[in-house]
Amino acid sequence: MFYKKRVIVLLLLVITIVISGCGIIQKKSEDAPTDQDNYELEEEDVQEEDEDTRETILFYQDDAGYLVPIMRKIEWEEGIAKAALSKLIDTPDQQQEILGMGLKPLLSANAQINGISINDGLAKVDFNQAAMEYADATTENNMVQGVVMTLTHFPAIDRVQLMFEGQILDTLKHGTKVGEPIEPKYINPELSPDSTAEGAEVTVFFHNTSSSRYEYLVPITRITSSPSASIETAMEELLKGPKADGGLQFAIPSETKLLGVHMDDGITYINFSKEFDSLQGSESQDTVLKAITMTAKEFPGVSMVKVLVEGEEYEGNELVTTPVFANEY
């Protein structure tokens, strides 16, 4: 009888441990998103060009280490956020798709998306361990920022928590912090050529050309010496050009000066000095005009832009409505 009682007690202990263990396993599975999670986006997030595709901003890296936003029309499917991230993986299929751009995917070839969930503006993305392995700090940081910016272009997402094999890590190998939910930050940040710059931030657009001859605009967050951000501040920074060793191109005629900015009847007029006129007929004219309008568009209320030279409309200015995307492919 005593032996039977001991057996019964042991069986009860084993059952208790198993039940408790199941509770621990369930809690861990709730923390890590899986492919079975429901992460449908609101109808306003779809923004479909037609029934089959969605215009989606994806981020890639160029040879100089800059993050480059590209609008691509991707096939609409349930789980569109995961579909967008899959376009950032360096697979043979993606290499073929973006061959003409000459840009690099942000996620390594062996990276996998284990799962993604979206709730109350927070997207949790679980990658495998291969998604953590990068050669240097720039590539590692670009991967994190590019994933965050790609996802937060969906209106239902405003911050992203990265996970790896179901775990939240404090930092990655090269020091990029991933322990807390991340909001989109300044893209390609740098100081103004004025070394004492410690003021407002503005976003300006310079351009570059890949080895495949694909021409694209690169957004730069410039930390200025001005106490407040304005279109005038942004245009002054644009005229200063990119940093000397940054690998970006600058095609606005040298010695060009900003004479003023004003808005009238819904149009933003940007007035440059006479030196700007030498841009007419050049191969880079359209690119320069687009860079100016994209820089102006960073400010609220700017929907149409006209470039003036010494107060007169620039003759080559056919671009009036600001473009929706910096780059399309």
Side-chain half-sphere CA neighbours of 183 within 13 A? 3
- CA-to-CA distance for 225 and 206, rounded, in angstroms? 20
Task: Give CA torsion, residues 259, 261, 262, 265, to 10 deg.
Answer: 120
pLDDT at 15 (0 to 100): 38
63-79 tens-digit pLDDT: 999 999 999 999 888 88
pLDDT at 321 over 90: no
User: How high is the pLDDT of residue 22?
Assistant: 36
Paired residues of 249 in beta bridges: 207
Query: With the CA atoms of 200, 203, 209 and 211 taken in that order, what torsion angle do they form, in degrees rounded to the nearest 10?
Result: 80
- What is the token pair recorded at 277? 């006129």
Q: What pLDDT band is residue 31 in, cutting at 50, 70 and 90?
A: low
**What is the C-alpha to C-alpha distance for residues 85 and 162, in angstroms, rounded to an integer?**
13
Q: Rounded to an integer, what distance in angstroms lies between the CA atom of residue 124 and that of residue 167?
A: 11
What DSSP character marks residue 276? Answer: G
Determine the average pLDDT of the residues in 1-21: 38
Q: How confident is the model at residue 144 (pLDDT cuts 50, 70, 90)?
A: very high
Q: Please tell me the pTM assigned to this model.
A: 0.83
Per-residue pLDDT band for 27 (boundaries 50, 70, 90) equals very low
Q: Is the pLDDT of residue 196 over 60?
A: yes
The neighbour count for residue 143, using CB atoms within 10 Å, is 26
User: Residue 34 has what pLDDT?
Assistant: 65
Residue 303 tokens read as: 């929907």
CA-nearest of 58, 134, 50, 39 to 97 is: 58
- Report domain extents, the chain: 43-164, 189-313
Q: Which two tokens mark 301? A: 């209320």
> Does 46 score more than 50 pLDDT?
no
With a CB cutoff of 8 Å and minimum separation 6, the contacts of 154 are: 41, 45, 80, 81, 84
| Number of Cβ atoms within 10 Å of the Cβ of 306 | 16
| Strand ranges, E, within the chain | 53-61, 67-75, 113-119, 122-127, 159-164, 189-191, 201-209, 215-223, 258-264, 267-272, 304-309, 312-313
Contact status, residue 109 vs residue 135, Cβ threshold 8 Å:
no
pLDDT tens per residue, range 299-316: 998 989 999 999 999 987
DSSP string, 143-185: HHHHHHHHHHTSTT-SEEEEEETTB--SB-TTS-B-SS-B---
Residues in the chain, total: 329
- Does the pLDDT at position 248 exceed 60? yes
Q: Model confidence over 278-288: pLDDT tens digits?
A: 999 898 999 99
Instruction: Work out the pLDDT band at 244, boundaries 50, 70, 90.
Output: confident
Per-residue model confidence (pLDDT) at position 97: 87
